[in-house]
Amino acid sequence: MSFILAFKAFIKALKDPAKAQSFLNESPKSVEVSRDQSHLHLLALLQQSGRLVDFLKEDIHEFSDAQIGAAVRQIHQDCSKSLEELVTIRPLMPEKEGTVVTVPKGYDPSAIKISGKVKGEPPYSGVIVHQGWKAHKRSLPQKMGEQTSEIIFPAEIEVKG
């Protein structure tokens, strides 16, 4: 809140103390806060398609590199396909990592992170350490029906008998 807005509210409260007290005594209206749960939805979809969360939460220290490599190949393939269908991520910089580029004056700091021995004002000349990523298409399917938002993927129980 800005100082001027707070000051105006204070003056109004001084002019009409009864109204100010009435405002303070009101119970908060039941306003349902809509929180964006798309990040959990994306995790759920990657879990469904490639069991990504299972893999990331698994303790892999006991497995050999060959066993991990075999598991990762399928997870990578399935999750990569889902990610491409849902988000379509592309590199921010068309040049490959290791390429020397010039960052112009007026660059977007949310798109380009400058590090190292930065002195003075742009343009800067440096080496691409990471190309960055940008979402070009976002098409997460809408959730249907009631569901607890924190559930990424339900527990599975197989009944035998």
> Tens of pLDDT along 80-115?
999 888 888 899 999 999 999 999 999 999 999 999
Angle at 54 between CA 82 and CA 68, to 5 degrees: 90
Are 45 and 81 contained in the same domain? yes
- Tell me if 77 sits within 8 A of 118, measured CB to CB: no
The mean-pLDDT minimum among 17-21, 95-99, 120-124, 146-150 falls in: 146-150
Is 17 within a domain? no
What pairing do the DSSP bridges indicate for beta strands 100-103 and 124-127? antiparallel
- Does 68 share its domain with 97? no
Beta-bridge partner residues of 127: 100
When pLDDT is cut at 50, 70 and 90, the band that residue 31 belongs to is very low
Same domain, 100 and 125: yes
What are the tokens at 116? 């190292």
Q: Is 72 a member of any domain?
A: yes
Domain membership of residue 56 (yes or no) is yes
Same domain, 39 and 81: yes
53 and 74 both lie in a single domain: yes
Same domain, 124 and 97: yes
Residue identified by tokens 């707070």 is 6
Percentage of the residues of the chain whose pLDDT score is greater than 90: 48
DSSP alpha helix (H) spans, the chain: 3-15, 17-25, 38-50, 52-57, 65-86
Nearest residue to 49 (alpha-carbon basis) of 22, 24, 85: 85
* DSSP string across 97-144: TT-EEEEPTT--TTT----SS--SSSPEEEE-S---EEES---PPPP-
Token digits for 140? 């997460």
Residue 40: phi, psi to the nearest 5?
A: -70, -35
What is the pLDDT of the chain when averaged over all its residues?
Answer: 83
Co-location of 45 and 70 in the same domain: yes
Question: Bridge-partner residues for 124, per DSSP?
Answer: 103
| 79: containing domain | 35-86
Residue 3: the pLDDT is 64
Residue 29 has pLDDT above 70, yes or no: no
Identify whether 123 is preceded by a cis peptide bond (ω within 30 of 0): yes
Do 67 and 105 share a domain, yes or no? Answer: no
Q: Lowest-pLDDT range, 70-74, 86-90, 97-101, 125-129? A: 86-90
Are residues 49 and 73 both part of a single domain? yes
- Model-level pTM? 0.60
Q: Is 29 domain-assigned?
A: no
> For the residues 2-24, what does the mean pLDDT come to?
72
Interval 125-145 mean pLDDT: 81
Given a cut of 70, whether residue 149 has pLDDT beyond it is: no
Q: CA gyration radius for the chain?
A: 26
The confidence band for 28, taking pLDDT boundaries of 50, 70 and 90, is low
> Quick one: 45 and 77 in the same domain?
yes
> Which of 71, 86, 101 delimits the end of a domain?
86
Are 50 and 82 part of one and the same domain? yes
Kindly tell me if the per-residue pLDDT of 157 is higher than 80: no
Residue 45: count other Cβ atoms within 10 Å of its Cβ. 21
